Every structure is written in structure tokens, then in C-alpha cells.
Structure 1
Amino acid sequence: MGWEPFKITYTSDYFQDLYELAVELIRRGHAYVDHQTPEEIKEYREKKMNSPWRDRPIAESLKLFDDMNRGLIEEGKATLRMKQDMQSDNFNMYDLIAYRVKFTPHPHAGDKWCIYPSYDYAHCIVDSLENITHSLCTLEFETRRASYYWLLHVLDLYQPYVWEYSRLNVTNTVMSKRKLNYIVTNKYVDGWDDPRLMTLAGLRRRGVTSTAINAFVRGIGITRSDCSMIRLDRLEYHIREELNKTAPRVLVVLHPLKVVITNLKSGSVMDLDAKKWPDAQADDTSAFYKVPFSNVIYIEHSDFRMKDSKDYYGLAPGKSVLLRYAFPIKCTDVVLADDNETVLEIRAEYDPSKKSKPKGVLHWVAEPFPGADPLKVEVRLFEKLFNSENPAELDNWLADLNLDSKVVIPTAYAVPALRNAAIGDTFQFERLGYFTVDKDSTAEKLVFNRTVTLKDTYGKNGK
């Protein structure tokens, strides 16, 4: 993301300190070992009732907590709870759990511990031990502020300033870890780095740069409004702004339609210059790449129709178009399937003099040499993951999943210049959008993820 942390620390770095402070908390009469089940704790909290173990002797809680630490008590048989205020109007003061028994090795601490601190216990203490000046949380943690300061106060520890702000909510997706975990573990998406997700891993795999993300975040600012939704096209605007400067242009055809140029000799191949950048200067050879032009080329199926119209700029019988970086061609014949509707092939003539000036300009890809298909690549097109702008507010949010959010085109045609593209490289496929080489690519076949289309609704609407 371009940010260099001053220091990376983990709560587990402070496990010993947290344990010693828990012992001190018991000694001061502000914690006790409880044997209630989760169901009993829930019931007693709802009724604002004290646990029957709440007033047990301090010495007894100290011994039991030591037994918990030494692995002498089974999981689920005891917890250490803070002695807060069961009559408070804030349910986050209802004797929150500080420690649980769990016989699971820790990713950082290994198997040294069999008791682990809760978030409500560890969060504020670690902030204090690290001399954090401002502890920043999203608004759903605002009710935990009372517990945060209570614990630091009873332990006579330094109290950082706590400030809450609204979480980032982006339209047509879910941002909560619980919902994200559900759709990942239940395989509604292809892992945490699925390009349709708003995780950093997913955005990175999609081809979104840290520069674009930082610009997006700077643009939306910070608010305490709990119902604000940021439109997805606002992020896409910043992605386009960045990739327009950094992504070289190439020619790729997603849905190839064969065009045979009848007045160009079979086997004849011309190497033409194509621009990597719109403002490429003629004397800068690095700003160009070579594209073969032969008597068999491919255009998009959507760029041909049988009937022409005034506002149509594609190819049609008897009509001319300009092939990008190449020549004008004119459709002279159409080969149809047996149903007399499906177009199998187009016959055309090209104008080597380039005297004709058609309005329509098409992207295309040619056979690199006679009888050889162009470079075949797989292209994955991604749309919004959910149909509704705010699926999280729906009772059945899973039913709102967009079943067409991922479309795979197994055989698109690309120019030879793309053959050596590496994982993570991003290009503008002219007239189509920005695409990034996916990690699923192999030596035999490249896979591209569509990062974003060329259409810019945010920039036009100014929203």
C-alpha cells in the first residue's frame, strides 16, 4: 500500500504482561473465575443477574486461574470474568470474559499458553502498554468505550484517547468479516483473494493499485455517519485515473469472428506498428509494438451486423471500417451457417492506399502466419458481486448474489506482444477495458482478470 509501519507488533508479544495484569486484577477484587456455560452467561446477562461465582474468595479465584494457566481445567469448564457492573445500561459492562481455556497452539506463541485473553481484555491494555495516543475504532465499538476505560482505570494504567468513526461501506458488496468469511468458506467465491471481493488481496489480484486505493480513501475522508454508502463507481474512477497513465495498450478480441481479406495474398504477413500509449511519439521506438497483419483477421462478433444503420459504426455488408493501426476494409460477402442466421465468416477487401476514411474504428487480431491461430488467452469478466446496493440490510442477503458476477471467456485472441506478459502486469485492451494477468496463468495459457471497464459513470456524474 506504500505505507511503512513504524513497528509491527502482536497481542501475543504481551501475553506475559496480560497474564500478570489479570492476576493483579483478581487480587484487587475486579475479576473472578466463573464456571457458567455460554448459555447460562447469556441468560444471566439478559436478566442482569450476577453469576453465582461472582463473589467467591479472591484466593480461590487466584488458585483456579493458576490451574487454568497450567492446563488443569478443561476447555469450557472455566473462564476469567471481569467484575464490572451487571446493572449498567451498557451490556458491554456485564462482566465481560477476560480469559478462556483453549488447548490450541498459537501462530506466534506456539504451545506455551493454554489460556488466551479476549479482545475486550487485551485491546485496551496493549494500547496502554504501547503508549498509543489515539485508539481508533469503527462506530460499532463505541459501546465498548466504557469497558475500555473501566479496565485501565482499575489497573491504574495510562488511558489513550478513544475515537470512533464510520466503517467503510461500499455499494454492491459486503464488508463485514463475518459475511465475507461465510461466502468464502461456503465457496460462493474463489477464496479471500477472489477479484470480486473488496479485500486487499482481492483488489490486488484484480489489478487495483495501491495508488488508486489511497486516492479513493483520501477522497472519501472520515465521517461519523453510520449509514453512509460509498458508490463502487467512485473507486472505479480512481482505478481508471491511475491505469490510464500506467497501462500500455494492446489489441485483444474477446469473441472472435473470422474475416478473410480476399485481395491480400494468402501467406503474406505485414508487421505494423501499434501504439502502447495514446501520445506515443514517432521517434520513440519503445512506445510501439509490432502487430502482424495477414489475410485472416478476427474482429469482435458484436462489431458486425447484417443490417446497417445511421448510428452504427461497426462492419456490415457493403460498409467500410478502419482497422486500428492498419487499413480500411469493406465487407463484400458473408458466410452463414445452415440456419441462414449465424454468421460464420466475413469476406472483405482492404484499401492499401488508406484513401477511404470510414468513421468506425475496430480492434482486431490477425493470424501471425498462415494457418496459425492467434495467441489464445483466457479472460475473466467481473461484475458487481451483489445486485442490491446494500445487500447487508437484506434479510436474505445471500439471495441477492449476482449469479453473473463472473463470466469466463476461455478462448480470446491476443496479439503476439502479450506472450511474455507476467503475473500482475496490467494492460488496456483497446475498446474493452483494463485487464491484469492472473496468478492462474501458466506457460501454456495466460489468464486475464478485467480490472475495470473503460466506462466512467462517476466522472460524468461527479458523484
Structure 2
Amino acid sequence: MSATDNSTAAPNFIRHIIAADLASNKNNGKVATRFPPEPNGYLHIGHAKSICLNFTLALENNGTCNLRFDDTNPEKESIEYMESIERDVAWLGFKWAGKFHASDYFEQLYDYAVQLIKQGDAYVDSSSAEQMRQDRGTLTQPGKESRDRNRSIDENLDLFQRMRAGEFADGQYVLRAKIDMASPNINMRDPVIYRIRRVHHHRTGDAWCIYPMYDYTHCLSDMLEGITHSICTLEFEDHRPLYDWVLDKLNTPCHPQQIEFARLQLEYTIVSKRKLLQLVTEKHVSGWDDPRMPTISGLRRAGFTPEAIRDFCERIGVTKNDSWIEMGVLENCIREDLNERAPRAMAVLRPLKVTISNWEDGKTETYRIANHPQKPEMGSREVPFGKVILIEQDDFMENPPKDFKRLVPGGEVRLRGSYVIKCDEVIKDSSGNVVELVCSYDPATLGKNPEGRKVKGVIHWVSEAHSIPAELRLYDRLFSHPNPDTLDNFLDGINPNSLEILSDCRLEASLANPLPDTRYQFERTGYFYPDYVDSQPEKLVFNRTVTLRDSWGK
């Protein structure tokens, strides 16, 4: 079900519940969970927490976890979203025991609704949506019973069958559960369980013009699949009495246990599907998979690894209390992961030309540099060196501060894996901008400092003649406000500097053909991942996954 090693999984209240159930042989010692997304958008980091929790709990207890699409609202759902959800779950490293859809059960759900009507536990109501809102009451005032609440069973059966047959207009009738209009829990005040919607369904076509509501569908889908532990977020806690009421009234053969946990709340992020869709449709981002988006597809395109996301979800834990998680926690998870796995390479983001005056014209040397300083098993690569090299503009200053340890006029610096060079001349254009440095190299310093020689600074570089052109996209947090949802307009919190595109970057020759699905540490710059959407052999594009250090607050 997953490649995750959960031998050191942290205890939490859900693990304790399952352990107690297994000890008492509840559910015959079976653990069956499910991940039930509605296919009305792309999954985000909050869903990742639920995915990891549901699949991991099943894995830990030799159980099963189903993937089930709760596709009861075809107006907002699509095949595109379903396919993206499957990709995301699989990419995170999980395999579902079975793939199901709420629409698989439409006939059974209808039959169960008929059973509720026959028992006197449901009725067809002609009240308008506005009238039902008025009659629902408040937290301090009971609701008002509909004039249709006491229809006869035969009349309700007839009307419900005619609803299915398409005799009525959308919204003309609904089917409501008959519970208690005075209940202190508003969700129990005769909730709607079926409504008329003439909408083409992506799986059932036009076979149905009535669709069941989520609360009614969810518990019965869980029951039909033999789910033992129905795990959801805290906003469904007040819906649990309705979940149990439906199953109890129908006297179903099994009764899953709904358990709620606190949803993921991540700073500098929004996870509302409606707002994420707005970002996409209004083109504040390039799409659902924009690397600034908190969607799983966006994180994947940015270069996050499934291991880092699973580690993040385990670290933040599972509780009953809402809390905010700092963005730095997620960023540190990917830093730690990539520090171990990412091969090193040299990339110059803002090139400055350096001519080695005492280097022979046409001469090239090639050095072998380790791909990872602590992991010899990752091998090494060849890096060519010639008369003209490129360094970062920021690695040279004419009038440096006292603690500047890179190249200055008349000063020396070591080139990573190569020689010590000395800046002899600074060439400027007519505007006074530095366009080239003329330096000399010391042949005795290849890969070492001769005795008595102290060179503090080490900078990266690439050979101009052998380097590869590339576009680097420097992504940062999409929002500059820690909680954009608290703003009157969440769009006001967008970070205007969330993306910087550098089109004239140069990469070392070894990156001409980046390894498939490989993240790289560009030395002294950050972790980068080839953009699998826009990158082409003739025009490489790399996305910055994360900086080497957390510099957000500086």
C-alpha cells in the first residue's frame, strides 16, 4: 500500500482508538479506511495529511484503504480532477485497495431513501431553499416544521418516484430526513438528502436527475465498502450525529465509526478549493500545478519529493485542536530530504565574464568533482575549465564591506574544485557597469592551498565555452501575509515577488541532460528541479524548490 516505513510512527489519539478496537476484536480485528475526495478541484497539502493518515493507518494494521470519489455534485466535478487525484495519491507512494465512486451506489442509495420514506423517516418537501433557510432556526431558536412534513407515506413515495422520473423542475421538490426541527444541532433539523438537478454526470451521463447529498451519501458509501474507521476533519464533527442517524435508521449490517481530527492550517497559504480555483481562473498563477500553489501537483512540479511531504505530515501530528503550522516546517522537510539525496552542480544565475589572462588560448582542462561531498557512492562528474569562465555578479564587489570574502580588485578567491585566481583588471561599459574581469590563475593551487597561502573565499563558476543556457525560475511563497484568509480580500495578500524569472543563466556541462526525476543542489544557490512542463532539450528550465536556508524573515 505504501513504501513508507512507519516503524517509528508517533502515537496519536486515532492510533490509540484503533489499537483499542483491535485489542477488543471490534470489527473482527479488521481495519479499513478510505480517502474520499470530491473531484471538484486538485488536491492540496491539506489533503496530503488526510491521504497519509488514512493509508498509513491501514498499512500499520494490515488493513485496507480505498480511494473513493464522492461524485454527487456533477456541476463542479470533472474527469480532469479525478485523474489528477489518482496521480497525486500514487505519487505520494500509496496504492488503494479498491477504487470506488459514490455514483457506483446511486441505485442502492435511492433504494435506501425509499426505505426511509416507508419507515416514516423521510418526506418530500416543496419549500423553496429560501423558505427552508428561514424555517431552519438559529443556534438559540428551534426550527419550524415544514407544511409538507406530515405528508402520507404513499404520497411521499409517489412524489419521490416522480422526482426520479424527471416530472418536476429543478428545485421544485427535495427529499428531507425527518429528524427533529428543535434539535440543538442544526444539522439534524430535517436535512435535505436528495435534490433535483438536471446536470450531466461524468460517469452516469443523464441517467439521473436527482442526486443525493454528501452527508447522506458518505455514511452509506462507507458502510457499503465495509469501512471500519471513517476519518475526517473537524468541520464534520457536528455532522457525525447525522452520519450515525442514517445508519441506525436503516439498521445497516455494519456501522463505521466516524473520527474527526484537526485539518492542516499552513501559514502563508490558502487551501480553499474555491479560492484556489479563483487564483487559476483569474490567472494569478499559471495553473493548478503552478509551483507556488499548495496543490500536490504544484509541490511536485516545484521539486518536492513524496518522502518530504510524508515526513511533514508525520511531523505535524494528528490532534483534535486547530493550530497553525509554520511554512518553515514544510520547507525544512524538503531541505533535509534534498540535502541527503540531491547531487551537487554549479549554475551561474547572473553571469559575469572572467577572462584568465595567463591561460593558454584554446586550452581546456577537465576536473572530476564529487556529486555529493558526503556520499562517494553518488559518484562524480567532469567539469571543464577554459580561458573564459562565468561567475556570479554578486561574487565580485569593487568596494566591498569588511567581511566580504569573495572577489575584489587585487584580491584572490578560489574557484570551486579548481585554481586560485586574482582579479587584475575591471572592465566597464560606457555606463560604468562592470562587464568583465581580467584575472590570473596560480598553477600551483589546483585543488589545494600551498603552504602559507590563505584564501578564504570559494566561489562557483562555469566555463563559458562549455556551459549550458537555461532559464531558472525563482519561486517564493505565493502570499506575503501569514494568513491571507483573514484579509477582506485574500488576493491583497499575494506576494508581488513570488516569482523571478532569470533567462540568461548558465549551467555546468554535466547538466546538458538532467537525470530523470532528479533534484539538484545548485551550489550556494538552492535546490532546483527540471520543469517537466516547459523544459526542452534546446531550452532547459529549472524551478527552485527551496533556498538553501530559511531567509524569509530576513
TM norm structure 1:
0.92
Aligned amino acid, residue 327 of structure 1:
Y
Q: Is the 8 A contact 1:269 1:368 kept in 2?
A: no
SS of the residue aligned with 2:503?
Answer: strand
Pick which of 210-219 and 104-113 moved more. Answer: 104-113
Q: CA deviation at 1:108?
A: 2.8
Q: CA deviation at 1:186?
A: 2.3
Distance in 1 separating the partners of 2:100 and 2:434? 63
Show the counterpart of 2:293: 197
Distance in 2 separating the partners of 1:67 and 1:181? 36
Show the counterpart of 2:16: none
SS of the residue aligned with 1:86?
Answer: coil
SS of the residue aligned with 1:409?
Answer: strand
CA deviations on 1:111-156 (whole Å, 9 max, x unpaired) are 3222211101101111122222221111111111121112222212
Pick which of 191-200 and 246-255 moved more. Answer: 191-200
Match of 1:40 among 125, 131, 150: 131
Equivalent residues, number: 449
Distance in 1 separating the partners of 2:149 and 2:176? 9
Distance in 1 separating the partners of 2:284 and 2:544? 19
CA deviations on 1:174-219 (whole Å, 9 max, x unpaired) are 1222322222232222222121122211111111111111111111
SS of the residue aligned with 1:12?
Answer: helix
Distance in 2 separating the partners of 1:347 and 1:125? 76
Show the counterpart of 1:155: 250
Distance in 2 separating the partners of 1:402 and 1:391? 11
Show the counterpart of 1:302: 394
Distance in 2 separating the partners of 1:24 and 1:433? 61
Distance in 2 separating the partners of 1:410 and 1:68? 60
Distance in 2 separating the partners of 1:298 and 1:27? 81
Superposition pairs of residues 355-434 of structure 1, within 5 angstroms: 355=450, 356-368=453-465, 374-421=467-514, 424-434=517-527
Aligned amino acid, residue 332 of structure 1:
D
Residues 1:349 and 2:440 are matched in the alignment: yes
Aligned amino acid, residue 197 of structure 1:
M
Q: CA deviation at 1:394?
A: 2.7
Q: CA deviation at 1:457?
A: 7.5
SS of the residue aligned with 2:136?
Answer: helix
Show the counterpart of 1:209: 305
Show the counterpart of 2:28: none
> Over the residues paired in the alignment, what is the CA RMSD in angstroms?
1.9
Pick which of 79-88 and 203-212 moved more. Answer: 79-88
TM norm structure 2:
0.78
Q: Is the 8 A contact 2:123 2:175 kept in 1?
A: yes
Q: CA deviation at 1:57?
A: 2.1
Aligned amino acid, residue 388 of structure 2:
V
Distance in 1 separating the partners of 2:470 and 2:192? 54
Show the counterpart of 1:184: 280
- Runs (5+) with no aligned partner, structure 2: 1-91
Distance in 2 separating the partners of 1:257 and 1:352? 22
Q: CA deviation at 1:455?
A: 0.7
Pick which of 445-454 and 301-310 moved more. Answer: 301-310
Distance in 1 separating the partners of 2:303 and 2:462? 24
Q: Is the 8 A contact 1:441 1:447 kept in 2?
A: yes
Aligned amino acid, residue 539 of structure 2:
K
Show the counterpart of 1:461: none
Match of 1:249 among 329, 340, 344: 344
CA deviations on 1:332-374 (whole Å, 9 max, x unpaired) are 111122232x2111111111211454111101111236xxxx3
Q: Is the 8 A contact 1:328 1:357 kept in 2?
A: no
Q: Is the 8 A contact 2:428 2:436 kept in 1?
A: yes
Show the counterpart of 1:287: 379
Q: CA deviation at 1:109?
A: 2.8
Distance in 1 separating the partners of 2:518 and 2:94? 22
- Runs (5+) with no aligned partner, structure 1: 459-463
Show the counterpart of 2:145: 50
CA deviations on 1:272-321 (whole Å, 9 max, x unpaired) are 2222111355xx7x711112211111111111111134311111101111
Show the counterpart of 1:74: 169
Show the counterpart of 1:83: 178
Distance in 1 separating the partners of 2:470 and 2:489? 37
Show the counterpart of 1:28: 119
CA deviations on 1:371-394 (whole Å, 9 max, x unpaired) are xxx311111111112112222233
SS of the residue aligned with 2:298?
Answer: helix
Show the counterpart of 1:449: 543
Superposition pairs of residues 5-24 of structure 1, within 5 angstroms: 5-24=96-115
Aligned amino acid, residue 378 of structure 1:
E
Aligned amino acid, residue 42 of structure 1:
R
Q: CA deviation at 1:423?
A: 5.9
Q: Is the 8 A contact 2:513 2:537 kept in 1?
A: no
CA deviations on 1:249-289 (whole Å, 9 max, x unpaired) are 111011111111111123222222222111355xx7x7111
Q: Is the 8 A contact 1:329 1:348 kept in 2?
A: yes
Q: Is the 8 A contact 1:292 1:367 kept in 2?
A: no
Distance in 2 separating the partners of 1:188 and 1:36? 41
Q: Is the 8 A contact 2:469 2:507 kept in 1?
A: yes
Q: Could you list the runs of 4 or more consecutive aligned residues of structure 1 that deviate by over 6 angstroms after TM superposition?
A: none
Pick which of 179-188 and 59-68 moved more. Answer: 179-188
Show the counterpart of 2:30: none
SS of the residue aligned with 1:205?
Answer: helix
SS of the residue aligned with 1:237?
Answer: helix
